[in-house]
Amino acid sequence: MSFKEKVHAAFVQLQSDKITELKNVIADLSYSAANETKSTAGDKHETALAHLQTSIRQANQQLQELNNQYNLLTSIPASGNHSQIGHGSLVTTDKNIFYISAAIGKISIEEKTVYAMSPSSPLALKMNAKKEQDRVEMNGIVHLIKKVT
């Protein structure tokens, strides 16, 4: 398995884990809301139930976003090389390693930190269509593109 395939698999797993964790939170909140209706009455009950419903709604919105990112990520072929930077590229610069996929954070693989970023992020937009040995400047920091896969 290539380094890029390992990176892709690790980000897919990370996103999958986040989705599972959030589904568990939603289930716990839903259980609490169902039990809240059975256990108390009055203003205190209505306030507690409203808070739980708000939390469930917010968690469902977060879940939708995580699912969108997961679908975007899994639509990227894990293998294959790019000659130019674009969606699905693994970009090694003299400063960092970036996976142009979805904005889902960072991971450490083989003692290297890899940052997943959206193709629409400012740095990814500046890197778009660049090749090895090109330079990209962002916020006063110049990145020399060493490798694109």
* Whole-number percent of the chain with pLDDT over 90: 83
Q: Which residues constitute the domain of residue 58? A: 3-74
Three-state SS string over the chain comes to: CCHHHHHHHHHHHHHHHHHHHHHHHHHHHHHHHHHHHHHCCCHHHHHHHHHHHHHHHHHHHHHHHHHHHHHHHHCCCCCCCCCCCCCCCEEEECCCEEEECCCCEEEEECCEEEEEECCCCHHHHHHCCCCCCCEEEECCEEEEEEEEC
Q: Which band of pLDDT confidence, cut at 50, 70 and 90, is reported for residue 37? A: low
What's the pLDDT band for 68 if we cut at 50, 70, 90?
very high
pLDDT in tens, 46-61: 788 889 999 999 999 9
Domain count, the chain: 2
145 close to 127: Cβ distance less than 8 angstroms: yes
Within this chain, do residues 108 and 135 fall inside the same structural domain, yes or no?
yes
- Same domain, residue pair 100 and 133: yes
Whether 60 and 26 map to the same domain: the answer is yes
For the chain, the straight-line distance linking the first and the last C-alpha, in angstroms and rounded, comes to 14
Is the domain of 67 the same as that of 117?
no
Write the pLDDT tens digit of every residue in 97-118: 999 999 999 999 999 999 999 9
Same-domain check for residues 100 and 68:
no
The verdict on residue 79 lying in a domain is no
81 inside domain: no
Mean pLDDT of the chain: 93
- CA gap 126, 149 in Å, rounded: 17
Is 82 within the bounds of a domain?
no
d(CA 99, CA 76): 11
Residue 84 lies in a domain: no
**pTM across the whole model:** 0.88
Please indicate whether residue 41 or residue 141 has the higher confidence score (pLDDT). 141
Q: Do 123 and 63 share a structural domain?
A: no
Tell whether 58 and 12 lie within a shared domain. Answer: yes
Asked whether residue 34 falls in the same domain as residue 60, the answer is yes
Q: By CB neighbour count within 10 A (0-12 exposed, 13-18 middle, 19+ buried), where does 101 fall?
A: buried
What is the band of 40 on the pLDDT scale with cuts at 50, 70, 90?
A: low
Residue 80 falls within a domain, yes or no? no
Across 111-139, average pLDDT: 97
Task: Say if residue 81's pLDDT is above 90.
Answer: no
**C-alpha pair distances (Å), 100 with each of 29, 82, 109, 124, 133:** 34, 12, 16, 7, 18
* Residue 58 belongs to some domain of the structure: yes
pLDDT score recorded for residue 42: 60
- The pLDDT of residue 35 is 82
